[in-house]
Amino acid sequence: MRKFILAKPIDMSTGFKDFFDTIGLTGGGLVTKGIAAVIAVIAVRMLLQLSSDPKGALRKGSMAIGTLFVAVVLALYGDTLFSTVTEAKG
């Protein structure tokens, strides 16, 4: 009988640090992704609440698109942007 091994066993006895290392995220990276997700939800809510007034809808829509852009940039490059803040020399 053959044994099928999908993945080698990983020792997770030290808790969350090992888990985040296996998925490739640090604690700061996870917080950055969480903040980006909250901003994205706010941007989508802003898009769904557009008014029927064309001028106001254009202004609110462009603000929502800008907010969504900030959320995407933060999700993609947030850990790189904030890595200089957390690695202070002193």
CA neighbours closer than 13 Å in the CB half-sphere of residue 78 = 22
Confidence grade of residue 7 (pLDDT, cut at 50, 70, 90): confident
- Say which residue the tokens 């980006």 belong to: 36
Confidence grade of residue 31 (pLDDT, cut at 50, 70, 90): confident
**CA-to-CA dists, residue 77 to 31, 33, 37, 55, angstroms:** 13, 10, 13, 33
Chain-wide mean pLDDT for the chain?
77
CA neighbours closer than 13 Å in the CB half-sphere of residue 74 = 18
87 pLDDT exceeds 60?
no
- Say which residue the tokens 């008014």 belong to: 51
